Amino acid sequence: MEFTDFLWMTCGIFLTLATFSFLYKDNPFYKFAEHLVVGVSAGFFVIILWHNTLVPNLFQKLEDGDWYMLWLNSSEWWYIIPALLGVLMWTRFSKEYSWVSRWPMGLYIGISTGIAIPLEMANRVNKQLHAMMVEIDWANFFGADGFDLLSTTSGLAQLIIFLGTVAGLIYFFFSKEHKGVFGGVAKFGIWILMIGFGASFGYTVMARVSLFINRMQDTKAWGLEAFNANDIANPNYGSQYQIVFWALTLFVVGYIVKEIMQHLKSKNA
Amino acid sequence: MKRQLPFLLVFLFGAFMVFQYYVPHESSEFVYEFLLDWVMIIGIFALALGIWSLYTVSVDKIRHKKENWAYSYVTLIGLFIMVVLGFTYKVGDSWGFYSVFVISLMTLLGFLIQTSVSKDKGLWLGLSGLSLVVALGIAFTDDSWGIAFMTSEGLSNTMFTNFADFVLTPILATMFSLLAFFIASAAYRAFRARNILATLLLIAAIIVMLRFNPYMPFGLPEYMAKTSNWLMNVPNLAAQRAIVIGIGLGIVATSLKVILGIERGYMGKG
């Protein structure tokens, strides 16, 4: 690893520590990282959308035209229309003409909602209903390999999935009072939903913990790099690596000591 | 004209897009792809509104010296530096005066903000002009790097990728991992076994969380993994399926309301 790459890595570690410092309290380092990520992510997505969407979908379509002809001599000149409509969106900034922005907005919303209706029905509703309505495997009701209540492919699992989905949908149906048999099914539905929420919650926590482990592993890798203690020795290694490591460490320790002193001072006052 | 035409556009294009989905002809497919391009183009132009809004909010904070105003400079510099890096690329072996170019553009940004917020506009405008001259001078004379708006060389600019890998990714990953701590403390308060539903939720969550714990005795890890797998693939699947179907029906109903003009909130007032 070259020294400039190590400096970039140090920058990442500093920002990691700055963000984690929020666990202690809101502080200038966290605020710095927070404001930086807002700007950098906005800039990042501007560039990604420009290069990956605007250029191929607009500029490349009009590239055989001439700017002084306003691209009207392009073979696909009609792509000027969405560009003009997009520009009309900017009339939002004007108090007098902001109503003009409703035209492109109307077109955008019309197309988007029109696309959404059949696609949502096909991809969410119909596909899920189709997957739900499988024939129950009565022959292997408790699993193919003998009695196994925790089998995910058994007829019992299929039955629970079917009944759980129906009951879950019934729980969300509020046009009829949840009483009697209907209320009982709705109750089963909320049980299934709560188990599902619990499992999803546990899964989310584990995903976040794995991110935390990843940040710690990166920090460890940075420390090893600073002392050339990785499995593969760094041919570019020099004392500057350790200087950077100790500079950041001293900085962090200094901030912690300052906070402790401040805390003790306020306690004694 | 101000309200009727947008509603008409929503209805016509919405109804047309629903209809064309069920027409199995290549011309229908062509129109679909064509209008999808339109939506993407209009959407990107709308992104400029968001960026402008970010800029004006930040400058306004600086101008009125609101709380934490100094950090707005960090946001603006982060935004503009990514935009500059994303449109530039290295040509030769070295970057030449590229760093001076980037710094002069950032100082130009700072001076322009100062021009808009300061009373002494002449001085800051002069300094802005100086920064602009330096930036343009380097851009026109330095051949070791180039500017590309129409080609995607900027995406492979090492400075741009380094900002993404060593600034954006660490902060975002750390922010998400921070949520593990806050979720855990919130869960402690929210999921106490006060009734049967909360207990079901708690047990399911604990089993899934202990799934990868290697320190449990008596072959429990294997049993936990199997139970967790069953929880994720059977009751969780049923719950998620019910929710997904509900969401799908909700989106369809809302879209119909929009197309038919029953839901008009997106038009705003006036």
Cβ-based contacts of A124 with chain B (< 8 Å):
244-245, 247-248, 251
**Touching check for B186 and chain A: CB below 8 Å?**
no
Last residue of a domain, one of B69, B92, B121: B69
Shared-domain flag, residues B158 and B189: no
**Cβ atoms of residues B14 and B255 within 8 Å:** yes
Q: Are A186 and A178 in contact (CB under 8 A)?
A: yes
Using the beta-carbon criterion (under 8 Å), do B49 and A50 form an inter-chain contact?
no
Q: Is A117 exposed, middle or buried (0-12, 13-18, 19+ CB in 10 A)?
A: buried
Instruction: Please report the pLDDT score of residue B193 as a whole number.
Output: 65
The answer to whether residues B82 and B34 belong to one domain is: no
Encoding tokens for residue A83?
């560009």
Residue range(s) defining the domain that contains residue B62: 1-69
Of B43, B71, B248, the CB nearest to A125: B248
Question: Can you list the residues of chain B whose pLDDT is less than 50?
Answer: none
Residues of B in contact with A115 (CB under 8 A): 17, 21, 32, 36, 39
Check CB contact under 8 Å for A44 and B8.
Answer: no
B32 and B112 housed in the same domain = no
Residues facing B89 on adjacent strands: B146
pLDDT attached to residue B270: 57
* Cα–Cα distance, B226 to A155 (Å, whole number): 17
Contact call for B238 and A198, based on CB within 8 A: no
Pick from B44, B168, B179: which is nearest to A37 by CB? B168
- Give the closest of A82, A110, A190 to B11, CB-based: A110
Residues B195 and B205 in one domain: yes
Q: Which among B44, B51, B237 has CB closest to A161? A: B237
Over pLDDT 70: what percentage of chain B?
98
Nearest CA in chain A to B185: A205
DSSP chain B: --SHHHHHHHHHHHHHHHHHHT--SHHHHHHHHHHHHHHHHHHHHHHHHHHHHHHHHHHHHHHTT-TTTTHHHHHHHHHHHHHHHHTEEE-SSS-TTHHHHHHHHHHHHHHHHHHHH-S-HHHHHHHHHHHHHHHHHHHHH--SEEE-SSSGGGGG-HHHHHHIIIIIHHHHHHHHHHHHHHHHHHHHHH--S-SHHHHHHHHHHHHHHGGG-TT-STTHHHHHHHHHHHHHHTHHHHHHHHHHHHHHHHHHHHHHHHHTTS--GGG---
How many domains are there within chain B? 3
At which residue do the structure tokens 């409509």 appear? Answer: A85
Residue of B nearest to A56 (CA): B150
With the CA atoms of A128, A133, A137 and A143 taken in that order, what torsion angle do they form, in degrees rounded to the nearest 10? 30
Å between A14 CA and nearest CA of chain B? 9
Chain A environment of B169 (Cβ under 8 Å):
12
The answer on B263 and B217 residing in a single domain is: yes
Spell out the residues 6+ positions from residue A3 whose beta carbon is closer than 8 angstroms to its own: A236, A238, A240, A241
Q: What is the ipTM of this complex?
A: 0.87
* pLDDT tens digit sequence for A174-195: 999 999 999 999 999 999 999 9
Residues of B in contact with A109 (CB under 8 A): 10, 14, 258, 266
Chain B hits for A105, CB-CB cut-off 8 Å, are 6, 266-267
A266: closest CA of chain B, how far (Å): 24
Q: Is B122 on the interface with A (CB under 8 A)?
A: no
What pLDDT score does A242 carry? 94
Same domain? B162 vs B172: no
Cβ of B75 under 8 Å from any chain A Cβ? yes
Chain A interface includes B7 (CB < 8 A): yes
Q: Which residue among B50, B83, B258 sits closest to A113, beta carbon to beta carbon?
A: B258
Nearest CA in chain A to B200: A195
Amino acid at A155: G
Q: Judge if B40 and B126 occupy the same domain.
A: no
Which residue of B45, B149, B169 is in closest CB contact with A89? B45
In B, residues 22-41, which contact A (CB 8 Å cutoff)?
Answer: 22, 32, 35-41
Residues of A in contact with B41 (CB under 8 A): 54, 57-58, 79, 82-83, 86
Same domain, B147 and B215: no
Q: Is residue B172 domain-shared with residue B263, that is, in the same domain?
A: yes
Say if residue B184 is in the same domain as residue B93: no
Cβ–Cβ below 8 Å for B258 and A120? no
Q: Which of B25, B54, B69 is the last residue of a domain?
A: B69
Does B92 touch chain A if contact means CB atoms closer than 8 Å? no
Are residues B36 and B26 part of one domain?
Answer: yes
Last residue of a domain, one of B132, B167, B202: B167
> Are B182 and B259 found together in one domain?
yes
Smallest Cα distance from B124 to chain A, Å = 23
| pLDDT recorded at residue A164 | 95
pTM for the whole thing?
A: 0.87
| Mean pLDDT score of chain B | 90
B145-147 and B88-90 beta bridge pairing: antiparallel
Which pLDDT tens digits describe chain A residue by residue (269 residues)? Answer: 889 999 999 999 999 999 999 998 899 999 999 999 999 999 999 999 999 999 999 999 998 888 888 888 899 899 999 999 999 999 988 888 888 999 999 999 999 999 999 999 999 999 999 998 888 888 888 888 788 888 888 999 999 999 999 999 999 999 999 999 999 999 999 999 999 999 999 999 889 999 999 999 999 999 999 999 988 888 889 899 999 999 999 999 999 999 999 989 998 87
Q: CA A32 to CA B64: how far, in whole Å?
A: 20
Q: Which of A4, A23, A77, A113 to mutate to test the interface with B (most CBs of B within 10 A)?
A: A113
Q: What CA–CA distance (Å, rounded) separates A108 from B11?
A: 11
